[in-house]
Amino acid sequence: MILSFFDAMATDAGIRMHAVREANPFAKLLYETNVFVFYSYKIILPLILLSLLRYVSKQSFIHIWIILGTITYGAVAIYHIGWMSYVMAQVRP
C-alpha cells in the first residue's frame, strides 16, 4: 500500500516536472483523464489485493505472485528515488 502510494506520488511529480512518462498505458489513460482517478486506481487496487490475500494459502501460486509483485514494486520505488535524486541534482545550481 505504501509502495503504491509512493509510486503514484513519484509518478505524478515526475510527469509534472516533465522528467518521466507513465509507462503503463492504462495508468497513463487514467492520469490523462483525471489525476484523482489515477491516485484512486493506485490506492484501491492494492487494497483489494490485500483484502483478498487473507483468503489465499501461503503455499498457493497466487500468494507467491503477490510476493513477487511486491518485490518488483519495491524495485520500482528504488528506481523512482534514483531518478528523483538525479533530477534534483540537475536542478541545483
Joined together, the cell numbers standing for residue 6 give 509512493
| Average pLDDT value for the chain | 87
Whole-model pTM over 0.85: no
List pLDDT tens digits, range 47-92: 888 888 888 887 888 888 888 888 988 898 898 888 888 888 887 6
pLDDT recorded at residue 48: 86
Q: Which of 33, 42, 44 is nearest to 11 (CA)?
A: 42
Higher-scoring residue by pLDDT: 93, 62: 62
